[in-house]
Structure 1
Amino acid sequence: MKASGDLEKNGSPAHVGNFTLHLAEDQFRWSPEIAAMHGYPREPMTVTTEFALAHKHPEDRPRFAALLGQLPDASGAPLSSRHRIIDRHGNTRHVLVASTRLVDADGAVIGADGFYVDVSGAASDQLEDALDSAVADFSTNRAVIEQAKGMLMLIYDIPADRAFDILRWRSQHTNVKLRSLCEQLIDTLADESVVGEAGRTRVDHIVMTIGTQGEPLPG
């Protein structure tokens, strides 16, 4: 398994991948990174809901299935959770899943768009040390990145390297410079309440949409 800071050939962080769920087609479309998390070749995959659920840990499967069942209700819980998956080799991996609902022109929910973060091996006691490091670093560019990382660490309860993977993934996905993207995230979250389920749902949406305004990457 690659280290958490490694990049894949396409420049995306190895521990973050995006997915789209289409309810009418009963299909998840996994990025190469998510396919690899499940033990498959690192290439895009289209799988059924039944197939995706079969990879959930038996103890976590009912809760995730319940979230799927609530997805068509726009007022229901988001498809966001922290749970375990069993890859095709029998290995258990811990993942964070966050998403935002997809709606049609009439406002009806037609699916979800989101991302997975593989947090396997991320011990909870790393969080305090990582946060101390983030707060202590005040250099110009790095301070902005560290602040954005710190926000994601606290909101999602993940260590610094996984938070940075999310930011780098969005930077690559949107072709926006990392600093500019982090500034967007900080400015947006500063005006938001992140308390409770409603707050978490809003944060998931913000993370999925940052980068729509910002300084593009060169080239």
Structure 2
Amino acid sequence: MDNRIQPVIAAMAGGEREQLGWFDYDLTTDVWTWSATLYRIHGFEPGEIVPTTAIFVSHKHPEDRSHTDEVLAAVLETGQPFCCRHRIITSRREVRTVVTIGQGTLDDTGRVTKVTGYFVDITDAATAVSQQAIRDAVAGSAAARAQIEQAKGALMIVQGVSADDAFAILRWHSSHANVKLRDLAQLIVDAIQQPYTGTDDANQRLGRLLSGVVDGSVRPERGIAATPVRPVITR
């Protein structure tokens, strides 16, 4: 298995609903490589089409395309890690909600030569979220409820998503990283409240945190002080 996605597979162990597929894009040859699952997420059989940048972009939902184009352009220019939640339209005209995470590889001159990453299809998880699920999840205590609501609010502001979508993101990371929802919420609240520097912003901070929770480098007992640079969350 590709070493690049082993931490993600490990984090998702025990969960079978979310499909995960990886991609490589070599800028020097303009060649895309998709995993079999990524073909299926887009509604194709593996090898049915030759993936290209035009095909990659064409499947973005029209309402999300402006944002995803900006994210793609940024990573192609800078190689900066990214995390982008958006919708795609498959070849079967189905709308799927996905999270795309990746980063670029730079050569010795600082030029981006490759972009690698993965797609997680969270359509079922996002659809299943309801206000009742939110009430059930935070029923433990007033303190836990306040933490989760604050974390949801942070995600809503940074990502521009609804309350249900924010909770879906929290629940996905909590479930597949085996971290309690209230502990994840506390990590997010603590991260947002720490002082910012001239090279740090909310997008970068939440991106590092959520990616670190997925790959296991950030745990509630360790806090966020030693969190490495991780994908930037954008909407």
For the aligned pair, the TM-score class normalised by the smaller chain equals: 0.5 to 0.7
Cα 1:213/1:125, change in 2 over 3 Å = closer
> Which among 155, 170, 173 is matched to residue 166 of structure 1?
173
Q: Does 1:17 align with 2:20?
A: yes
Count of aligned residue pairs for this structure pair: 189
> Which among 208, 212, 215 is matched to residue 217 of structure 2?
212
Aligned partner letter, 1:47: P
Report the Cα distance in structure 1 between the residues aligned to 2:14 and 2:188, rounded to whole angstroms: 26
The residue aligned with 1:174 is none
Mind listing any 5+ residue stretches in structure 1 that lack a counterpart? 1-9, 172-177, 215-219
Superposed displacement of residue 90, structure 1: 1.4
Mind listing any 5+ residue stretches in structure 2 that lack a counterpart? 1-12, 220-235
The residue aligned with 2:179 is 179
Report the Cα distance in structure 1 between the residues aligned to 2:149 and 2:21, rounded to whole angstroms: 19
Superposed displacement of residue 35, structure 1: 4.0
The two structures have a TM-score, normalised by structure 2, of: 0.54
Report the Cα distance in structure 1 between the residues aligned to 2:168 and 2:66, rounded to whole angstroms: 30
Q: Deviations over 1:132-175 (max 9, x none)?
A: 3332225xxxx7xxx67983686154264554333334x3xxxx
The residue aligned with 2:103 is 101
1:86–1:92 Cα contact (<8 Å) kept: yes
> Which among 76, 90, 94 is matched to residue 91 of structure 1?
94
1:117–1:166 Cα contact (<8 Å) kept: no
Cα 1:150/1:47, change in 2 over 3 Å = farther
The residue aligned with 2:32 is 27
Does 1 or 2 have the higher relative contact order (CA < 8 Å, sep 6+)?
2
Superposed displacement of residue 100, structure 1: 4.9
Aligned partner letter, 2:58: A
How do residues 1-219 of structure 1 correspond to structure 2 at under 5 angstroms?
11-15=14-18, 17=20, 19-24=22-27, 26-27=31-32, 29-30=34-35, 32=37, 34-40=38-44, 47-74=51-78, 79-93=82-96, 95-104=97-106, 109=112, 110-119=114-123, 122=126, 126=130, 128-138=131-141, 151=151, 155=155, 157=161, 158=165, 160=167, 163-169=170-176, 171=177, 178-179=178-179, 183=183, 186-187=186-187, 190-192=190-192, 198-210=201-213, 211-212=216-217
Superposed displacement of residue 17, structure 1: 2.6
1:55–1:86 Cα contact (<8 Å) kept: yes
1:38–1:86 Cα contact (<8 Å) kept: yes
1:193–1:199 Cα contact (<8 Å) kept: no
Cα 1:212/1:82, change in 2 over 3 Å = closer
Equivalent residue of 2:217, what SS? coil
The residue aligned with 2:230 is none
1:39–1:87 Cα contact (<8 Å) kept: yes
The two structures have a TM-score, normalised by structure 1, of: 0.57
